[in-house]
Chain A
Amino acid sequence: MKLTESEYGRLAKLRSPNSNVLRNTAMAFLVGGAICCAGQALLNIYKMLGTDEITAGTLTSVTLVFLSAVMTGFGLYDKIAKHAGAGTLVPITGFANAVVSPAMEFKTEGYVLGVGAKIFIIAGPVIVYGLAASAVYGVILFIVRAMRG
């Protein structure tokens, strides 16, 4: 029987005692922390190579996204995600997995309305609301600065 993550989560929640919440949270903490350490290592390496702070951050994100895409391609990321839950969801590698996974899966529906459309099934909402929130902030910031002269 095949289950999506949310179905799995619902079923697991119905059956599991509270100790599972503790174990899941500990796993998420450990794996998520480890991914952030990998990010820190990349950040330090890029800074050591002489790139400025912001470019080093961008390169770190791009590298993590690349590694996540490769691991998702080989089916490794989803295997880790089964145990790590939010530990593999919340880091940017989880965002990348949410882009790569449906892109691969919906290849069956063609490159335009399959891959091209479904690639944004999770990234779309994230970009829409992130961008909206940042634009609201930008307008408020502009007004505040104008009022201060």
Chain B
Amino acid sequence: MDYLWAFLIGGAFCAVGQLLIDLTAMTPARILVTYVVSGVFLGAVGVYEPLAEFAGAGATVPLTGFGYNLARGVKEAVQSDGLVGALTGGLQACAGGIAAAVLFGLAAAVVFGRGDKTAKMFG
């Protein structure tokens, strides 16, 4: 059952993204930024947590889940450490994903990076 909801909710997040690309001509970068900020907002107002409990990876794998993770981290850090938590909580909660992306990105550049310039998704 958890796979069905992960598929449906995760797919729905992606379908909305595709509609934004096709109907508003938003660039991929703007969509990612919009999704993360939306995730922070939805996490802050308390909507995303029940969704994440219900849809599992369907809510946490889309980039809104990254935003929700930032909000969750900040909330916990403010509760335990006070105002400084507003600065420390977000990155703490997302550190694994960000560090992985940067380190694997560097490794991929070393191993797979070609000498020539090729047109790619995010040129």
A interface residues, Cβ below 8 angstroms from B: 2-6, 9-10, 13, 20-21, 24-37, 39-44, 57-62, 64-66, 69-70, 72-74, 78, 81, 85-87, 89-108, 111, 115, 119, 121-123, 125-127, 129-131, 133-135, 137-142, 145
Contacts and interface: CB of A to CB of B under 8 A. Distances in A.
A129 B29 CA distance: 12
A95 B32 contact: yes
Given A35-B10, A115-B113, A69 B104 contact: yes
Interface in B72-116: 73-75, 77-79, 82-83, 85-87, 89-91, 94, 96-98, 100-102, 104-109, 111-116
Contacts of A42: 57
A135 B119 contact: no
Contacts of A106: 109
Interface residues of B, number: 88
A148 B58 CA distance: 35
B119 to A, nearest CB: 4
Given A99-B101, A100-B104, A107-B113, 11 more contacts: A20-B22, A24-B22, A32-B13, A32-B62, A40-B3, A66-B100, A95-B63, A95-B66, A119-B105, A135-B90, A139-B83
Contact of B57 (A3, A29, A36, A96): A36
A129 B7 CA distance: 28
A29 B14 contact: yes
Contacts, number: 322
Which of the listed residues B43, B98, B100 has the most CB atoms from chain A within 10 Å of its own CB?
Answer: B100
A32 B15 contact: yes
B97 A62 contact: yes
A21 B11 contact: no
Contacts of A100: 101, 104-105, 108-109
A62 to B, nearest CB: 4
A58 B92 CA distance: 11
A20 to B, nearest CB: 8
Contacts of B108: 69-70, 72-73, 100, 103-104
Contact of A92 (B6, B61, B87): B61
6 contacts: A61-B97, A73-B112, A86-B21, A126-B33, A130-B36, A130-B39
B57 A40 contact: yes
Nearest to B118: A105
